[in-house]
Chains A and B, each alone.
Chain A
Amino acid sequence: MTSQTFIDLSRWQFATTAAFHMTFPALSVGLAIFVAICYGAYYKTGNPVYLQMFRFWRSIFAIGFALGIVSGIVLTFELGLNWGNYARAVGPILGPMICMEALMAFFLEAGFFGILVWGEGRVSKRVTMVSACMVALGALLSTAWILDANSWMQTPAGYREVNGQFQPVNWLHAIFNPAFNWRFPHMVLAVLIAAAWFIAAIGAYYLLRRRALPLARKTLSIALLAAAILLPIQLNVGDNMASYMTLVYQPDKLIAAEGNFNNGNTGWVWFAVPDQAQQRNYVQLSIPYAESVFDYHNFSGDESTPGLKTIPQSLQPTVAPVFWGFRIMIYGAWAMFAVAFIGVILRLRRRLYTERWFLRLVLWMLPVGVISTIGGWVVSESGRQPWLVYGKLLVNSSASSLSTGELIASLAAFWIVYLALITAWIRQVVREVRRGPDALPGQEGTQAAAPGASGAPAPAGLPVTPVEA
């Protein structure tokens, strides 16, 4: 029998490596689409600013993409390393789904990524355009399949159990399981919004520094437009998902997210310090009647989510991560909505590029989308506990039998390595941004001449960007 320590540490290992991994795809999906949009605009209009944007964002995209790949390889192994029993049980269903991800998405991305990044000059504009679209498509397909595999663990469907193994009976039901149908749009919107703020913030940075202004304006404009369109949709999708999907299929998750231990609180708890052992909250602050409105769209204000005590304590999810993951997600979403709303007003008043306080605000919004996405993922995964396959397979009976020593060593190694990697990634992005985009093709003082002329002198250390007064 595997020890509890081993299981807890394995959970930490998976949770931290997965959270690290998903930061990069979360940005890459949106960045890939943005890069494709930039090139598409250049392809259509021939405006060199779009080409400059394409090249600049492509190089930022490339590094994050590489980190996404290598940290993703880790996950494909981790499913089996510490979780041998789980791997055996769900392999016949989740294995093919992730194979589909590799076949449809990874190969597509990797095949065209090289052409996208290195192909300029070797291939026609049309091929570059197609490559950009294929990379973006691959990123979306990858999101779909990985989310599908995860959703099946939330709401298993289309299977039968044989000797403790889940075997497919109806692939359509398994693939389009109830959670997937709700969570896929939610996740795609989330990653697009996360990337939109990342992109907008860098645009705002250039506007604040008064550098590369044509690029900065276009970048900020497109990204904020995307955020302004997507956020209201996302709030709606998320709200419906909580009210319908979670309430019907995973009530435990909703109960834990609302953070009440007792029945009957019609208020929406906005702050709580839960004490699971005592089955109560130390501190709890709620907005009266709001829960009824939020969760049930019942404006009489007298409907409430049941308390956790309705679930046997051994089957309760741990409240704190679910509750706070949900709060982080939704507070982030509200903040993003507010800033996007202000952005729309400023745009209508034609002051979007000049209000410095607003640009500073946008700069601060840079990580909010990613943080919200990770918050949501914490809700989703810790709200499923103590089940690994909801209602069917307990986390505690899923692990491999290994010694705790090697696990501790690997966990420490992962944390050190990932800390180093994320530091290196942030520094590289900061470097690239500080250095600025390449000069517009054809402008004077530009370095971006034909290959072979690259010996042309440029003073070291100076930004190659034309600085506009």
Chain B
Amino acid sequence: MLFFLMIVVIFALLTYVVLDGYDLGIGVLTLFQPDAARRRQMLEVVGNVWDGNESWLILLVMGLWAVMPDAYATALPGLYIPLLVTIFGLIFRGFAVEMTLHRAVSDRTWTRLFGVGSLVATFAQGVLFGGLLCGVTVRHQLFAGATWDFFGHGYAVLTGLVTVALFALAGAAMLQAKTGGALRDQMVGLVRPLTLVTVSGVGLSAALLPVATSAQLHLGAIDRWLPFGYAVLVAAGGFWTAYRRAGRTPDLLPFLAVTAAEIAGLVALVALYYPQIVPPSVTLYSSAASRDTLAFLVIAICVFVPGTIAYHAYSNWVFRGRQPLDDGAVPGGRPAAPSAVPSPRPAEGGNRHGN
């Protein structure tokens, strides 16, 4: 049961990283988009998915709390500052999406806030992940470290930057599938440089990890190095595909390739760290909740998750193909204010299936 639930928690983390990764990345990219109509188009890609994507974060955090209370109770205080910064970033961007979509294209304030919020949240998530990899001091099942421990002599800054690059890459790869025209060309042009930056960043952080962390990294036994090596190969293949296939059909392939690399990266980390959940001392077994809790969760997940996946898939299917959703109009079919010309591109790609 415990192992199953660990897989579920990791699955929630993965889904969150993949899904919110691209929509945070799109947010970051809006900061570098000088054209108001295109910014708007980018936002609309996020508009109908961001809340569903962030639901996975809630499931991840609450799942962690339910399955491994000790891990939740030590990791959160240990990563206090990056967590709060993440939260503030997410607040601003989520609210800004709805505000922007209810206003004219010319509105700058909320679009900017959306971009800044996304950037801040992405960077802070990278920092907190780096801080977690470095390790959290725990004594008597409670956090006993200092405020700035997560910083890891700067290692967390590196992982923060890598995360920004990775999510921006995912965002650009998604946009090249979900949009058309000039915006698409712009995004195609971004995929390659972002891939190079991401790969070098990931390489550097992997090389520095053994120095930065207080955790024990296992790579000796075959059940460690085999999945690890396999994951490295898949990740390399993923980034290579994203680089090679940028701008070609099928449009979604680079995004899928980046997703594969993200999955592989997480598998590699699990191979290195298992069973440490909050390294170095809180493990899967030391933090597990009682049997009845786990049984309840297994049943709940088996009953509800298939349905959840089904209607989210349906929702994605409804919004398949290229955006914009309704030619720049805001929800409810309300046309944008006259001063704000909707994106000049008619829905010419509307019946092309991106996925």
B142 and A103 within 8 A (CB): no
Check if B88 sits within 8 Å of A168, measured CB to CB: no
A122 touches B319 (CB 8 A): yes
For the complex of A and B, the 7 pairs showing the least CB-CB separation, nearest first, are: A91-B69, A95-B66, A114-B48, A80-B76, A454-B335, A55-B332, A400-B77
Closest to B336 in A: A454
Enumerate chain B residues within 8 angstroms of A63, measured Cβ to Cβ: 95, 98-99, 102
Which chain A positions have C-beta within 8 A of B308? Answer: 103, 107-108, 111
Contact between A103 and B304, CB atoms less than 8 A apart: yes
B97 is contacted by which of A66, A103, A110, A401 (Cβ under 8 Å)?
Answer: A66
Decide if B311 is an interface residue (CB 8 Å cutoff): yes
Q: How far apart are the CA atoms of A58 and B301 in the complex, in Å? A: 31
> With A59-B334, A74-B87, A111-B311 known to touch, is A80 a contact of B73 (CB < 8 Å)?
yes
Residues B315 and A115 in contact, CB atoms below 8 Å apart: yes
- A165's contact among B69, B98, B305, B318, by CB below 8 Å, is which? B69
Does B99 contact A424, Cβ atoms closer than 8 Å? yes
Contact B333 A66 (CB under 8 A): no
Q: Which A residues lie within 8 Å of B61 (CB)?
A: 76-77
Chain A residues with CB under 8 A of B353: none
23 contacts between A and B (CB under 8 A): A58-B331, A63-B95, A65-B51, A65-B98, A71-B91, A73-B57, A87-B69, A89-B69, A91-B289, A92-B290, A95-B69, A100-B300, A103-B59, A107-B311, A107-B312, A108-B311, A110-B52, A169-B292, A400-B142, A400-B143, A406-B80, A410-B84, A421-B91
Which residues on B sit within 8 Å (CB–CB) of A313? none
Residues in A lying within 8 Å of B, measured CB to CB? 55-56, 58-59, 62-63, 65-67, 69-74, 76-77, 79-82, 84-85, 87-96, 98-104, 106-115, 117-123, 162, 165, 167-169, 171, 400-403, 405-406, 410, 413, 417, 421, 424-425, 428, 432, 438, 447-448, 451-452, 454, 456-460
Residues on B with beta carbons closer than 8 Å to the beta carbon of A454: 327-329, 335-336, 342
Interchain CA distance A275-B162 in the complex, whole Å: 56
**B58 interfacial contact with A, CB 8 Å:** yes
Q: Determine the main DSSP class of B at the interface with A.
A: helix
B36 within 8 A of A: no
Do B319 and A106 touch (CB < 8 A)? no
Q: How many whole Å from A76's CB to the nearest CB in chain B?
A: 5
Number of interface residues of B (CB under 8 A): 79
Q: Does B24 contact A (CB under 8 A)?
A: no
Contacts of A96 in B (CB 8 A): 66, 293, 296-297, 300
Residue on B nearest A87 in the bound complex, by CB: B73
- Chain A residues lying within 8 Å of B75, measured Cβ to Cβ, are 80
Expressed in whole angstroms, the Cα–Cα distance for A79 and B66 within the complex equals 12
B62 at the interface (CB under 8 A from A): yes
Give the distance in Å from the alpha carbon of A360 to the alpha carbon of B108 in the complex.
36
Chain B residue contacts of A108, Cβ below 8 A: 308, 311
* Contact residues, B294-333 vs A (CB, 8 A): 296-297, 300-301, 304-305, 308, 311-312, 314-315, 318-319, 325-333
**A428 B99 Cβ-Cβ under 8 A:** yes
Q: How far is the CA of A458 from the CA of B334 in the complex (A)?
A: 12
Contact with A along B139-183 (1 / 0, CB 8 A): 001111001000000000000000000000000000000000000
Give A452 to B345 CA distance when docked, in angstroms. 11
Asked if B91 and A92 make an inter-chain contact with CB atoms under 8 angstroms apart, the answer reads no
Contact: A84 with B143, CB < 8 Å?
yes
In contact, B48 and A117 (Cβ under 8 angstroms): yes
The yes or no answer to B94 lying at the interface (CB within 8 A) is yes
- Specify which of B55, B305, B319, B339 lies most central, judged by the most chain A CB atoms within 10 Å of its CB: B55
List chain B residues, Cβ under 8 A from A107. Answer: 52, 55, 59, 304, 308, 311-312
Given A73-B54, A92-B289, A107-B55, residue A438 in contact with residue B332 (CB < 8 A): yes
Known contacts being A59-B334, A114-B315, A117-B48, is A95 close to B65, with CB within 8 Å? yes
Contact B58 A106 (CB under 8 A): yes
